[in-house]
C-alpha cells in the first residue's frame, strides 16, 4: 500500500503534469493574436544610390551606429557587428550573375527585423522579442547567453559578448546601455530613437540612400516605393519575411 506521503506526492505530480501543458497551450495561442493598427517599421536600401557614395561616406553609416550604441571595436572571432558593409554578390548570390557589375557594390547589412523572426521563437527566456511596431529587440538584462538565437538567425545578424566590451569602446554614449560580457546583442533599428520620433542613425547618415518608414501606412514614402519598384530581400525563401528591402 501507498503511504500518505507517497499518495500526496503522486497526486500532486499527476495534477501538475496535466495542468501545466494546458496552461502552456493557452499562452502559445495568446501569443498569436496581434493588432494590425500598429506601425510596422521597415528600411529600404537604394542600392544604386548607396553605391554612388564614397567609401568614407559608406563607413559613416557603420560609424554612427557604433557610436550611438556603444559597440566595441574587437578584431577576430570575438568581433561584434550591428551593421556592416558587404558585397551585393555575397548577400544575393542567387540573384546576380558571376560577372555582374553590381556584384562588387557595397551595401549595408544589418538585422532584417523579420516578421517571423526565428531568433524570437527560439529564445528560452523571451530576452529577444518583437515589439508592437515590428522591431526585433534584445533585452540585455534578461539574456542568459545561451546563443540559441545565433544558431537560429539565417543572416548572422547577432553577436555575442565573448568578453567585457567596455575596454573596447572609445567614447561611451551615456544615453545607451553598455552590455556586459556573456549576452547577445544586435541591431535594434534604433528603437530608442524611433520612440523619440527620430529616424535610425544609419538612415540619417546615409544621405538619402536608405529610407525608413511605416510599411503598413499606404501614403508613406516607403510604402509608395515598395508598391511600385522591384526589390530583393535576404533569403526570402526561408519564410522569415524580412523588413529590410534592397531596391535595385
Query: Footprint of another protein on this chain (CB under 8 A)?
Result: 2, 6, 24, 27-28, 31, 76-81, 86, 90-91, 93, 118, 120-127, 142-148, 150-156, 159-164, 180-184, 235, 238-240
| Smallest distance, another protein to C-beta of residue 217, A | 29
CB nearer to another protein: pick between 8 and 198:
8
Distances (CA, A) of 36 to 4, 29, 85, 189, 217: 54, 17, 33, 20, 11
CB nearer to another protein: pick between 114 and 210:
114
| Smallest distance, another protein to C-beta of residue 98, A | 14
CB nearer to another protein: pick between 2 and 8:
2
Q: Is 71 helix (H, G, I), strand (E, B) or coil?
A: coil
Query: What is the torsional sign of CA 129, 132, 133, 134?
Result: positive
CB nearer to another protein: pick between 24 and 198:
24
| Smallest distance, another protein to C-beta of residue 68, A | 21
CB nearer to another protein: pick between 29 and 218:
29
Among 67, 49, 70, which residue's Cα sits nearest to residue 58?
49
| Smallest distance, another protein to C-beta of residue 244, A | 14
| Smallest distance, another protein to C-beta of residue 213, A | 26
Helix, strand and coil content of the chain, in percent to the nearest 5, comes to 35, 15, 50
Question: For residue 92, what are the contacts with CB-CB under 8 A and spacing of at least 6?
Answer: 232, 234, 246
Q: Backbone phi, then psi, for 110, in 5-degree steps?
A: -155, -175
Amino acid at each position: 500500500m501507498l503511504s500518505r506521503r507517497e499518495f500526496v506526492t503522486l497526486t500532486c505530480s499527476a495534477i501538475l503534469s496535466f495542468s501545466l501543458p494546458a496552461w502552456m497551450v493557452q499562452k502559445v495561442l495568446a501569443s498569436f493574436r496581434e493588432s494590425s493598427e500598429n506601425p510596422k517599421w521597415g528600411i529600404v536600401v537604394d542600392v544604386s544610390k548607396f553605391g554612388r557614395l564614397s567609401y568614407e561616406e559608406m563607413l559613416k553609416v557603420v560609424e554612427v551606429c557604433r557610436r550611438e550604441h556603444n559597440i566595441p571595436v574587437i578584431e577576430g572571432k570575438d568581433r561584434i557587428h550591428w551593421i556592416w558593409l558587404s558585397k551585393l554578390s555575397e548577400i544575393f548570390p542567387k540573384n546576380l550573375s558571376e560577372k555582374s557589375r553590381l556584384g562588387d557594390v557595397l551595401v549595408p547589412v544589418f538585422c532584417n527585423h523579420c516578421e517571423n523572426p526565428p531568433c524570437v521563437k527560439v529564445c528560452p527566456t523571451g530576452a529577444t522579442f518583437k515589439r508592437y511596431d515590428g522591431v526585433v529587440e534584445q533585452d540585455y538584462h534578461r539574456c542568459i547567453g545561451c546563443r540559441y538565437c545565433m544558431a537560429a538567425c539565417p543572416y548572422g545578424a547577432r553577436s555575442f559578448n565573448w568578453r567585457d566590451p567596455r575596454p573596447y569602446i572609445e567614447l561611451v554614449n551615456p544615453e545607451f546601455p553598455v552590455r556586459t560580457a556573456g549576452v547577445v546583442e544586435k541591431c535594434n533599428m534604433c528603437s530608442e530613437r524611433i520612440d523619440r520620433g527620430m529616424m535610425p542613425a544609419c538612415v540619417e547618415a546615409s544621405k538619402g540612400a536608405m529610407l525608413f518608414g511605416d510599411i503598413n501606412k499606404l501614403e508613406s514614402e516607403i510604402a509608395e516605393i515598395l508598391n511600385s519598384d522591384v526589390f530583393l530581400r535576404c533569403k526570402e525563401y526561408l519564410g522569415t519575411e524580412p523588413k529590410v528591402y534592397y531596391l535595385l
